Amino acid sequence: MKSDQRFKWISLGIIWVWFTLFALLPFCLVVISSFLSRSNASLISLPLSLEQYTRLANPLYWQIFQKSVLIAALTSLISLCLGYPFAFIIATARNRFKPLLLLLVIIPFWTSSLIRSYAMIAMLKAKGVLNSLLLMLGIIHEPLTILFTNTAVIMGLVYNLLPFMVLPLITNIERLDSRLVDAAHDLGANWFTTFRRVIIPLTLPGILAGSILVFLPAMTMFYIPDILGGAKSMLLGNLIQNQFFIAENWPMGSAISTMLTILLALLILFYLWATKGRKRGDWL
Amino acid sequence: MWGIDELAKYVVELQGIHKAIHGHGILQNLNLKIIEGEFLTLLGPSGCGKTTLLRLISGFEEPTQGTIFIDGKDVSGLPPHQRHVHTVFQSYALFPHMSVFENVAFGLRCQQVSFPEIKTRVEAVLKMVKLEQFSDRKPGNLSGGQQQRVAIARAAVNRPRVLLLDEPLSSLDYRLRKAMQIELKQLQRTLGITFIFVTHDQEEALSMSDRVVVMQEGRIEQIGTPREVYEEPCNLNVAKFIGETNIFDGTILSSDETSRQITVSMLGKKRLTKSSRKFSVNEKVHVLIRPEDVRVWGRDEVTDASDMFEGTVLEVIYKGTTVDLIVRINEQLTIAATEFFDEDDDRLAYKIGESVLVNWGNGWEVLLPYEV
Amino acid sequence: MNRRYLHVAYLGMIYLFLYCPLFILVVYSFNDTRYSLLWQGFTWHWYQELFHDRSLWLATWHSFTLGITSASIATLIGMITAISLYRYQFTGKKILNGLIFILILSPEIVMGASLLILFAFLLQLKLGFLTLLLSHVTFCTPFVIVTIYSRLVSFDKNIFEAAKDLGAADWQILKRIIIPLLWPALFAGWLLSFTLSLDDVIISYFVAGPEFEILPLKIYSMVRSGIKPEINALCSVLFFLTLTLTVLSQLALKKRN
């Protein structure tokens, strides 16, 4: 019908216009800006140059990058170790409890991470709850300085990003066919072997998805290192923020953002390669 | 082409239909005329194109070549709802958020029929499918058989010329299937609408249809009444697809045109038979004989074994009403026989390895031209 | 049933980790002291201070209007996109799928920076409500799309064909079938967008202007200056708001399953 065709074209029109204008175009602008320079008159101007990228080779920037990767990797690892058993227990829980258990994970997931990070401060202060508890239990004799250290940043990141690890894992583990586990046991494998050779490989897509969902934000959520790590904590996200608002070097900020996007692309490609031939998820 | 009068008595007509999807030919040069008021079944294995054919008639797909006429009118390019044919889907596709009444009334509502008329027509058709008391229920609270009746009612209330049913019984269990087959047949007679039914179950096709269209690989192999298709298959494909059959090679010894009597040589013996086809002397043929037509005898029961085939029992399969016997005739050939099981009849108490004799009534064979 | 106890213990430990800080936050919002972290008595004082802080109210009002508007637009665009992806074949469909996937995964900071360049440099727009609105809709829509699409694929796909077969035009299918079946997902998608918009810090940081103050940025600047009891009260209130919205959304999605 004519009106059906019209409906289709209007819908597709709106979609394409919006996404091109506000997603594709801005991204292209970032890439283009990274090849431009900063001038006194305007934040971004000609001439075209590779200056920003050559400046990135500076060991200072490289150090920040290394530190960001390290912290992000640690965050992912800790989230994985804490989160995998957690996700496994929930995914295999009885149907009666599962909705409630899921809800209790989703609530922190939806709570502003700013609020949650702020809540961590009270925990980690010298006179904070954690120290008071440990002192009271006699585990330590002097309050630990946690706040404004890398440890605090990692703790804050794990605290914020744990749900991002757990939720994809739960979806993935739920899809695990329990009969495969039964078959492994039936053929003589003990728990450890079954875990290593059946469960882990089959839940690999979930593990990778969760890790990527933790790794990238860990590098770029600038307000967490800012609040919990203090002024001296400079990760990649802080660097970009700094370039745009303090150093006012937009091309540099764009260059770093472009590198970040390339990193994202590499991680996605890795994910697709590592999960080739397996069931991944609804959106892929 | 056909004159207007000729076209008019066929409610649906397909001429020269070709359909290809992504370069793969699904249907090849299909021609079919469907008589008004008949129960026609499209029968064939998965992938033979029967569902595609249904979708061409309903308008969800267009043929790559060829024309489709409904009531004498060319419907090329006409969308589904303008064709006066309706489809009952395999999964029923009932609207889960609407009650039975609302489901059935849906088509009428979309055409903006007045509410009093909707009420009368919906209630009438619900009565016909015996679901008047369920009109407020949601599909989720109905059994499979009931859901199917709602799907049929929903299509039938719009008074289509043809109702297309795409394997509607395949998700039901055996008992329910058998019951629904009878119900559907009665429903078709009550409604008086032409039914085009798709199935891969040949028993279903034979028991329900006025005519059967046997399809394979996008082509129509044979069109005929269930009896014609079963007893006189026109080629090996049809013969093998419908029912069980034994196939032997033979050579024509003599053929009389007037009396249609033919002598054929097979397995070293001569047999006298009849055929409506023409064969020439020395022509190679296939000789087909259905297992239920084959008789098995013990050696000691027979005096004159001259026109019988010798063999040894290979398998005995008891099936309740019948017993299947597989008899080895020679190194390469076995013959399957099905006999009604009679507790008192010693004749049927065969043992594996026993030596037996096999034959069948004269003229019960079907002769087909030799195919490689 | 040793294993069962082990499971419960582990779950309890992690849930404790997740909720403890928030719990402490709420408790301290009632603590009758400004500087000490020891309990000094129950008080509503900080909530009263909160109530009287006009700039905070303004920021809250701004955030709410922004959230409601962007959630509504995002839900609309998201619904159209999800339905189009489900029903139609069109050139570039795979690209659109990929784009949505990338938008969900990509770091917010990149999106924030890119939108800043778009608005401030290319379009020369003043940073404020409009730029915030456009940005929020852009980053919320992919989540709405995924929510609605998951719901769509759970239906028997023949339903739409059956409706067409029976004579329904596209708008009738939308009105009589798609929206009634979809509304729990629409509701959940709206709530998700609203929450994401309310909580967003990074993207808003890049595209917000001085005249249209929003809550998360205000909290951020307050937090950087150290612990204040009013912030505790504010955060507690927001936490309970999020709690309610989450529960509502999950209930909506559970319905009609």
Tens digit of pLDDT for each residue in C206-229?
999 888 989 999 888 888 876 677
How confident is the model at residue A130, as a pLDDT? 77
Residue B185, token pair as written in the block: 């047949």
Report yes or no: B40 and B196 within 8 Å, Cβ to Cβ: yes
Considering only alpha carbons, which residue of chain B is nearest residue C179? B97
B132-136: average pLDDT: 90
Does residue A129 have a pLDDT over 90? no
- Give the separation between CA B306 and CA B236, rounded to whole angstroms: 29
In whole numbers, what is the pLDDT of chain A averaged over residues? 84
- The answer to whether C164 contacts B58, with C-beta atoms less than 8 Å apart, is no
Residue B124, token pair as written in the block: 């009438």
Which residues in chain C have Cβ-Cβ distances shorter than 8 Å to B60? Answer: 161, 165
B299-307: average pLDDT: 78
Considering only alpha carbons, which residue of chain B is nearest residue C169? B110
Of B73, B27, B23, B17, nearest to B49 (Cα)?
B27
Crossing angle of the two packed helices C179-199 and A113-124, in degrees rounded to 10: 40
How confident is the model at residue B262, as a pLDDT? 86
Please check whether residue C49 lies inside any domain of the structure. no
- Give the separation between CA B65 and CA B27, rounded to whole angstroms: 10
Does residue C37 have a pLDDT over 70? no
- The answer to whether C162 contacts B110, with C-beta atoms less than 8 Å apart, is no
Q: Which of the four pLDDT bands, split at 50, 70 and 90, describes residue B190?
A: confident
A103-115: average pLDDT: 87
Residue B102, token pair as written in the block: 């609302």
- The answer to whether C25 contacts A22, with C-beta atoms less than 8 Å apart, is no
Integer Rg of chain A from CA: 23
Residues B207 and B60 reside in one and the same domain: yes
In whole numbers, what is the pLDDT of chain C averaged over residues? 86
Q: Which of the four pLDDT bands, split at 50, 70 and 90, describes residue C6?
A: confident
In whole numbers, what is the pLDDT of chain B averaged over residues? 87
Residues B356 and B228 reside in one and the same domain: no
Of A226, A132, B36, nearest to C37 (Cα)?
A132
Task: For residue B269, give its domain range.
Answer: 246-369
Using CB atoms, list chains with 3+ pairs below 8 Å to chain B: C
For chain B, what is the domain count? 2
Residues C60 and C2 reside in one and the same domain: no
- Better-predicted residue by pLDDT, B332 or C18: C18
Strands B269-274 and B284-289: unpaired
Which residues in chain B have Cβ-Cβ distances shorter than 8 Å to C152? Answer: none
Considering only alpha carbons, which residue of chain C is nearest residue B96? C181
Does residue A167 have a pLDDT over 60? yes
Number of neighbouring beta carbons within 10 Å of residue A92: 15
Residues B212 and B358 reside in one and the same domain: no
Considering only alpha carbons, which residue of chain C is nearest residue A252? C113
C97-123: average pLDDT: 88
Residues B302 and B160 reside in one and the same domain: no
Which residues in chain C have Cβ-Cβ distances shorter than 8 Å to A159? Answer: 17-18, 21
ipTM exceeds 0.90, yes or no: no
For chain C, what is the domain count? 2
Residues C14 and C122 reside in one and the same domain: no
- Give the separation between CA B6 and CA A150, rounded to whole angstroms: 89
- Give the separation between CA A33 and CA A251, rounded to whole angstroms: 5
How confident is the model at residue A126, as a pLDDT? 66
How confident is the model at residue A284, as a pLDDT? 41
Contacts of A179 (CB under 8 A, 6+ apart): none
Residues B305 and B255 reside in one and the same domain: yes
Residues C31 and C74 reside in one and the same domain: no
Residue in C155, C158, C166 closest to B110 by CB: C166
CATH (domain of B209):
3.40.50.300
Residues C31 and C146 reside in one and the same domain: no
How confident is the model at residue A76, as a pLDDT? 95
Number of neighbouring beta carbons within 10 Å of residue B62: 14
Q: Using one digit for the tens of pLDDT, what is the confidence trace for C156-212?
A: 888 888 998 898 888 888 888 988 988 888 998 999 899 899 989 999 999 998 889
Residues B194 and B320 reside in one and the same domain: no
In the three-class reduction of DSSP (H, G, I as helix; E, B as strand; rest coil), residue B245 is classed as coil
Size of interface A-C (CB pairs under 8 A): 232
Residue in B80, B91, B111 closest to C158 by CB: B91
The enclosing H or E element of B40 equals: strand B39-43
Task: For residue C226, give its domain range.
Answer: 54-254
Residue in B60, B95, B155 closest to C159 by CB: B95
Half-sphere exposure of B203 (CA within 13 A, CB side): 8
How confident is the model at residue A111, as a pLDDT? 87
Paired residues of B338 in beta bridges: B324
The B162-166 sheet, strands edge to edge:
B85-88, B162-166, B194-199, B39-43, B211-216, B219-224
How confident is the model at residue B122, as a pLDDT? 93
Crossing angle of the two packed helices C54-87 and C215-224, in degrees rounded to 10: 130
- Give the separation between CA A32 and CA B40, rounded to whole angstroms: 66
C131-150: average pLDDT: 92
Residues C124 and C70 reside in one and the same domain: yes
Does residue B199 have a pLDDT over 90? yes
Residues B160 and B217 reside in one and the same domain: yes
Residues C129 and C24 reside in one and the same domain: no
Q: Please state whether B2 falls in left (phi above 0), alpha (psi between -120 and 50) or beta.
A: beta
Q: Which of the four pLDDT bands, split at 50, 70 and 90, describes residue C115?
A: very high
Could you say which of B190, B223, B240 is where a domain stops?
B240
Considering only alpha carbons, which residue of chain C is nearest residue A82? C14
Could you say which of B240, B259, B277 is where a domain stops?
B240
Residues C150 and C68 reside in one and the same domain: yes
- The answer to whether A110 contacts C92, with C-beta atoms less than 8 Å apart, is no
- The answer to whether B81 contacts C166, with C-beta atoms less than 8 Å apart, is yes
Residues C103 and C208 reside in one and the same domain: yes
Q: Which of the four pLDDT bands, split at 50, 70 and 90, describes residue B164?
A: very high
Residues B85 and B202 reside in one and the same domain: yes
Q: Using one digit for the tens of pLDDT, what is the confidence trace for A110-127?
A: 888 888 888 888 778 766
Q: Which of the four pLDDT bands, split at 50, 70 and 90, describes residue A2?
A: low
- Better-predicted residue by pLDDT, B69 or A123: B69
Residues C106 and C138 reside in one and the same domain: yes
- The answer to whether B106 contacts C164, with C-beta atoms less than 8 Å apart, is no
Using CB atoms, list chains with 3+ pairs below 8 Å to chain A: C
DSSP string, B113-171: --HHHHHHHHHHHHHHTT-GGGTT--GGGS-HHHHHHHHHHHHHTT--SEEEEESTTTT
CATH (domain of C229):
1.10.3720.10
Of A221, A230, A237, A21, nearest to A116 (Cα)?
A221
Does residue B116 have a pLDDT over 90? yes
Residues B254 and B115 reside in one and the same domain: no
- The answer to whether B110 contacts C181, with C-beta atoms less than 8 Å apart, is no
Q: Using one digit for the tens of pLDDT, what is the confidence trace for A33-86?
A: 888 877 766 666 677 777 777 777 788 888 888 889 999 999 999 999 999 999
- The answer to whether B97 contacts C167, with C-beta atoms less than 8 Å apart, is no
Considering only alpha carbons, which residue of chain B is nearest residue C154? B96
- Give the separation between CA C138 and CA C196, rounded to whole angstroms: 12
- The answer to whether C165 contacts B80, with C-beta atoms less than 8 Å apart, is yes
Of B219, B261, B218, B216, nearest to B239 (Cα)?
B216
How confident is the model at residue A140, as a pLDDT? 74
Residues B38 and B114 reside in one and the same domain: yes
- Give the separation between CA B132 and CA B122, rounded to whole angstroms: 9
Residues C3 and C80 reside in one and the same domain: no
Please check whether residue C76 lies inside any domain of the structure. yes
How confident is the model at residue B350, as a pLDDT? 81
Residues C71 and C107 reside in one and the same domain: yes
Residues C9 and C133 reside in one and the same domain: no
- Give the separation between CA B143 and CA A157, rounded to whole angstroms: 52
Report yes or no: B76 and B68 within 8 Å, Cβ to Cβ: yes
- C15-21, long-range: CB < 8 A, 24+ apart: C15/A104, C17/A82, C17/A159, C18/A104, C18/A105, C18/A108, C18/A159, C18/A162, C18/A163, C19/A104, C19/A108, C20/A123, C20/A129, C21/A116, C21/A119, C21/A120, C21/A122, C21/A123, C21/A159
- The answer to whether B110 contacts C169, with C-beta atoms less than 8 Å apart, is yes
How confident is the model at residue B348, as a pLDDT? 58
Could you say which of B198, B222, B240 is where a domain stops?
B240
C24-49: average pLDDT: 78
Residues B211 and B312 reside in one and the same domain: no
CATH (domain of B336):
2.40.50.140
Tokens 């409630």 belong to: A100
How confident is the model at residue C97, as a pLDDT? 87
Residues B235 and B264 reside in one and the same domain: no
Domains and CATH numbers, chain A: 58-274 (1.10.3720.10)
Please check whether residue C137 lies inside any domain of the structure. yes
Which residues in chain C have Cβ-Cβ distances shorter than 8 Å to A241? Answer: 109, 205
- Better-predicted residue by pLDDT, A257 or B23: A257
